Structure formats: C-alpha cells, structure tokens
Amino acid sequence: MPTVHILFENESWMPPLRAALEARGLPWVEHVVTGGPLDLSSTPPEGVYVNRMSPSAHTRDHQGGVTFLRQALGHLEDSGRRVINGRRAFELETSKVAQDLALRRAGIRAPRTVAVVGGADVIVDAARTFDGPFLTKHNQGGKGLGVRLFESVDALREHLHGSEFVNSPDGVLLLQQYVPPAQPFITRVEIVGGVFQYAIKSSTEAGFELCPAVECAPGDAFCPVGDSGRFALREDLTADDPLVRAYVRLMRQNSIDVAGIEFVEDSGGVRYTYDINANTNFNADVERQHGLNGMGAIARLVERELAVLRTAAAA
C-alpha cells in the first residue's frame, strides 16, 4: 500500500513532523538526501512524497542534496508520484530570483531587486543604482543568510573586501531596496494546502535572520535568531485579507503546497512581499500559547493525499 516518504537533510527539523504524522497514525519512511546515484530507469515506490529539503543545506555541507533533489523531484513527478512541495515549489525555494518573478507575475508588490553575478566591482556598480539604503541577500538562502543592511555603497565595498563576506552558494547575490518598516517587525503568513493557518510578527530589532523554528536558536551557528520573544502571533491578519488571498492564488499558480510568505509594511501602509519559504517551519512557543499546530495541518494534508492514492490502489 502507498506510504509517506519524507525527503530531508536536517535532522533537527524532523521531530515535529514525526510527532504530527504519528498522531494521525500515518506510516512513513525517511530518506536523508545529501547526494548519490539516481537511476532514471527505476520506478519510485508508491506513496506521497514530502519535500523537506532546506535551501540552507550548504551550511551543513549538504549542498549536494539540493543539487540531487532538483533532479530527483523531476523523476518522481514524471513517474506520476504526488510530491508535496514538488519541482516548481523547490525551484522557488532555492531561487529568490524565481520568487521575485513569481510575485510580480501574480501582481504582488515586491521591493526593487537586482541579481548580480560577478566580483566586488560588479556588485558595487549595481549598488550605485539604488537611492537610499539597500540589502544584500543570497539567492539560495534560508534563515536570512547573507542578509545585511547597507546605508552606502562605500560600506558595501568595505564589506565585500572583508573576511565576513560570503556569497550565495550558487554565486548569485541579490541587492534589494530596503523598505523601512512602520513598526520594527516583519510579518510571516503561514499557508498549508491553500488554507491560511496564522500570521506571526518577527522583530527586526536584533537583525534579519528570522527563521521561526525553535531549533534555530542561540548556540546554533547557522541560525542566530535570538530569543523566542522575537516572535508573536499577529491576530489582526485573517484569511480574508486581500494580500493573504493573493498569496493563496500565488501558491496555487506555482504548485506550492506549504509556505511561509513574508512581507514588510512601510509608514504609508504599503506592503512589500520579499520572501517565499516553501519549506516552512513553525514556532512552537507561539503555537503553544495560541493552540495552533502548523505541522498538524501538514500531516492532515499528507493524510488526504494518501487517502486518494489508497482509494485508487484499492479500485
């Protein structure tokens, strides 16, 4: 009978998903994806595949898993397998260039963004086209990797020639218009299976690395997000909000099953969307305080998809 197949590389993200699957009595098999052979003539096992590969995998020496999974997802989908956050979602997850283009196609406002491939001189020349402060970002990021705020081109030049500069693993660095928030936080909207779950506020006062997972905490060198007090439920944002509805349409258009989408609101009330986290995590502290369960929603989505396959197999 069809089962659930989890594709992942980060063990610290797995306990909440395992607990959610176990709570619903679902069988699953785990596949650690860090590279290896892919027999294109083989037939993948029946079941529902859940893509939990992180775009920050390179920080754990697992960039080979990102490269491998790009090919494997195509093989799975061409073989007729149901993949939650499949090939198209993963393209967006690992490319902020692709995210920006998708947002603009959907009519969702995004900050001005320039993608740069090249050395320091090329990056500096591109930065000169910005009026006012700007951010750098990794094209393949996650957890806010590579996000820095610069007030001037000279400050950027000094950073590029310093020891702390690290480029995106794919060699594409983004320069992006900085949108000063009306209040010192960004908003992250969680959507699963086309259904709005909730929105959280993430404080920007201590920096921009804003992964909400409890696992990303002080002491984890790859996700220094500060204390859990940086995250709080945003109760004024609902499923009826026009921007939330636009996000649901965007996800449908791009075959994204699960995402946390982030925006910032300026002093004039204009909202700019700048990040689509197709491999979302949930903040356990916020969920515990408000009786929410994002991973439970993912498990219910998996259960529904598995039921479809089992009905077809029994017919």
CATH of the domain at 151: 3.30.1490
209 with 147: CB under 8 angstroms?
yes
Which band of pLDDT confidence, cut at 50, 70 and 90, is reported for residue 182? very high
Same domain membership, residue 304 and residue 274: no
CATH of the domain at 209: 3.30.470.20
> What's the domain count of the chain?
3
Residue 106 is assigned to a structural domain of this protein? no
How many residues in the chain? 315
Instruction: Tell me the C-alpha to C-alpha distance, in Å, between residue 46 and each of 79, 80, 83, 140, 256.
Output: 10, 9, 11, 31, 21
Residue 100 is assigned to a structural domain of this protein? no
pLDDT of residue 95: 96
pLDDT of residue 206: 65
pLDDT of residue 204: 80
140 with 66: CB under 8 angstroms?
yes
Bigger pLDDT: 279 or 36?
36
Same domain membership, residue 248 and residue 170: no
Same domain membership, residue 117 and residue 50: no
